[in-house]
Structure 1
Amino acid sequence: MSTVADSNYDLALRDLAQNGFCSFDEFFSGQETSELRAKLDWAISPPFPLGDAAYGMDRGSAQQGEKVPQKIIDAALHDPFFMKLAHHPRILDFVELALGPVIRLNTSTVWLKPPNIGATMEAHQDAAHWKHIQPPRYLTVWIAVDESTLDNGCLHFKRGSHSHGIYPHSLLDNQYCISDPGVVGGESIAVPLPAGGCSFHLGTTVHWSGPNRTQDHRRGAAFTYFSGSSSVADWAEKQHPFPYVRGGPSAPD
């Protein structure tokens, strides 16, 4: 673990290069974390103010006729609060060290894992999902809005898996995940985080999370960035915005 006081991020960058992931127990201030928590309390309360397109509903609750959001999709495109968070200078300072000075935003998803019904996220690699960007130089920051624990479904990473390319993936229970369950074994590390902590992982790092078996939320805001030196397929550019967040024509001064 590192702290944000490590302003040169040397230890975290070493962990990222060696293991494919790194984490910070203290990255955001208490005020920043409280503001994010309050925003999510508002966003996931009926009548779900961000609009139907912003929410992915929990499969189990949907079958029972309940409307319980499982995630907020493209959060930064639906509300300026999340776009501002995607531009957070401490996040981008670290992303720049990992990816270079020109940075674009690929996705912005808030994973909600509601109490008791938040499901398992099977082992996968982000780069297997996003083949529209080549080369796949991705970095995801996962921000713990609530405390993230083994009981409520914290992230797990396979150490060193980023160095083995992209494993075959297939559909399992509506999730596009790694086909061979044997891949998950070996150097697997659970990364619990306090609220306000965060982790970073590369696009080829194998990761997953367990179910939420508690009475509390396990919410995490995830922003995936990619290097501005990578190319985006024409069809993808036409269907979805990939804003520059640093160093590009649409990035703020």
Structure 2
Amino acid sequence: MQGSTDYFLTSGDKIRFFFERGVFDKKGEFLVPKEKSINKIGHALHAYDPIFKQMTHSSKVQELGRKLSLEKPVVVQSMYIFKQPGIGGEVTPHQDATFLYTEPLGRVLGLWIALEDATQENGCLWFIPGSHTGGVTRRMVRAPPGSTPCVQFLGSEQPYEDSQFIPVPISKGGLILIHGEVVHRSELNSSNSSRHVYTFHLMEAKDTIWSRENWLQPTPELPFPSLYL
């Protein structure tokens, strides 16, 4: 599990690389070309990479924030997700608020930008319509210091039927807004085409408490930056 190591837990204010499962042999040697082994890069591209910083704080994104009546939106994390051809891993049904919990709920929004066409064949997103109204039944929190793994889950994930989900394919350059409590997933990419995306999360900071139990925390080196630079 990516969240089981300190490398993950301390990545919120850094740019780090996370590999797909099954890309190494028992000796730690690559079983696939290195450039095809990466699952994602995260979680502070928006702060330290000039291209992604410009994209995150672009006038279009800022205009969108204002149209959504976000008064004090801050950027909490960012990721470049590769969904590699043939091995791009399944993302099981989840709610973003499980990992990015706020009080009150409803203050986290994901922006998911397709850098390539996302199809049912290469692992587009699937959603359960209306599921953002049911609250959060599971949370991932930091475990006590010295524990292994360094995160743990509170509560339980609800069972979901495949028939509840609808696919949302999207063309290159398209944007999907993801409510923090909507249940969504993506399937294994068994096609010959990758599915690159850039995604980041905003939080409306006005009158909002960011849980101190979240795995991701602002740091002195990188407080959550305002969207409206």
Question: Quick check: TM above 0.5?
Answer: yes
Shift of 1:103: 1.1
SS at match of 2:23: helix
Mapping for residues 146-225 of structure 1, pairs under 5 Å: 146-168=116-138, 179-180=156-157, 182-185=159-162, 187-225=164-202
Q: 1:103 to 1:180 in 2, by over 3 A?
A: closer
- The residue type equivalent to 2:104 in the other structure is P
Q: 1:76 to 1:178 in 2, by over 3 A?
A: farther
Normalised TM-score (structure 1): 0.68
Cα distance in structure 2, aligned partners of 1:143 and 1:178: 31
Q: 1:143 to 1:175 in 2, by over 3 A?
A: farther
Cα distance in structure 2, aligned partners of 1:91 and 1:175: 33
Shift of 1:53: 5.0
Q: 1:244 to 1:169 in 2, by over 3 A?
A: closer
Q: 1:234 to 1:152 in 2, by over 3 A?
A: closer
Shift of 1:128: 0.9
- Matching residue within 95, 109, 130 for 1:139: 109
Residue segments in structure 1 that go unaligned for 5+ positions in a row: 1-51
Residue segments in structure 2 that go unaligned for 5+ positions in a row: 1-13, 141-150
Q: Which residue of 2 aligns with 1:238?
A: 219
- The residue type equivalent to 2:124 in the other structure is C
Aligned CA-pair RMSD = 2.8
Larger deviation: 156-165 or 176-185?
Answer: 176-185
| Matched-pair contact (CA < 8 Å) for 1:71–1:112 | yes
Cα distance in structure 2, aligned partners of 1:207 and 1:182: 13
- Percent of aligned pairs sharing the same letter: 27
Normalised TM-score (structure 2): 0.74
Per-residue CA deviations over 1:63-116 (Å, capped at 9, x if unaligned) read: 473241110102223311101111122223223333522210011111111110
SS at match of 1:104: strand
Cα distance in structure 2, aligned partners of 1:200 and 1:88: 16
Shift of 1:209: 0.3
- The residue type equivalent to 2:103 in the other structure is Q
